[in-house]
Structure 1
Amino acid sequence: MPSVEKDQSREDRIETEIIADAEDKEERAMGWYYYLDDTLNVPFNAKWKKKTRKSATVEEKTVEVLGMAPEDECERDMLLEVVYVGGKDEDVFTAKLSEIEAIDADSETTEAIADWHYWLARGYKF
């Protein structure tokens, strides 16, 4: 059962802009990838909330989102390249978009992230 109420304007955007004409899971994944790649205005700061492997606790780090991970890495999930704020630029990590909460992003970026979170919360899959 979906964990969020249906949002018709978001549903319409997903159907007409993101996964329009997608016939299979690969095409839906690439629709999401290109939508996010075009819409996320990077860099921006975010909270990266990830569960630790050893326990159910959530570790929260402030990161700078640099952009989407390479296309071939996003066939099963939407991934971002991030670096810890104050960290070294060569220390780039891959984070799931579902674990990212924007801090200082513009409205277009915030809406795109919310679209992805909505998609997952509704239980949709590629």
Structure 2
Amino acid sequence: MAKPETDAAREHRISMEIVVDAYNEEECAMAWHCYLDDHLGFPFKARVRHAMAASPLHPGENVSVLRLAHDELCRVSIFVWVRYNQQEILVPLAQLVPTSADKNTKQAVADWIYWHDQGYSF
């Protein structure tokens, strides 16, 4: 997947509002988890953007995103619980794009996807 163009406004928001006080990997992971916990409105509908090794979901599938995973599960990346085939499963948030969600949720997911797709890590 190609790295997206740099978005100066999003870079500024991420550095000054989300990870501003994060000085190591653990603090960065916690900062992202707190930001997403505060801004995501659950449940919301999402479409799968692409396949990922850590997930059974396929591109184009639709899921209902139920909740953010516990912070201990989000030390390497951000994961969410989704309803898929009558089960609740854990998948990477970066795999999903909201299709029916409020403005804050769409922006928060877009921020995370941007961070992820730029290749940034905790």
Q: What TM-score results when the alignment is normalised by the length of structure 1?
A: 0.84
C-alpha deviations, 1:53-72, integer Å up to 9, x for none?
Answer: 6xxxx444321111101110
Structure-2 separation of matches of 1:31 and 1:52: 24
Identical amino acids, percent of aligned pairs: 37
Normalising by structure 2, report the TM-score.
Answer: 0.86
What 5-or-longer segments of structure 1 have no aligned partner?
none
Larger radius of gyration: 1
Aligned equivalent of 2:66: 66
Aligned-CA RMSD value: 2.1
* Structure 1: 4+ residue segments shifted above 6 A: none
> Which of the numbers 58, 75, 88 marks the counterpart of 1:92?
88
Describe the SS at the equivalent of 2:61: strand
2:111 match? 115
CA distance in 1, matches of 2:112, 2:45: 18
How many aligned positions are there? 118
Q: Where does structure 2 lack aligned partners over 5 or more consecutive residues?
A: none
Question: Match for 2:29: what amino acid?
Answer: A
Is this contact kept in 2: 1:48–1:95, CA < 8 A?
Answer: no
Q: Is the 8 A contact 1:63 1:84 kept in 2?
A: yes
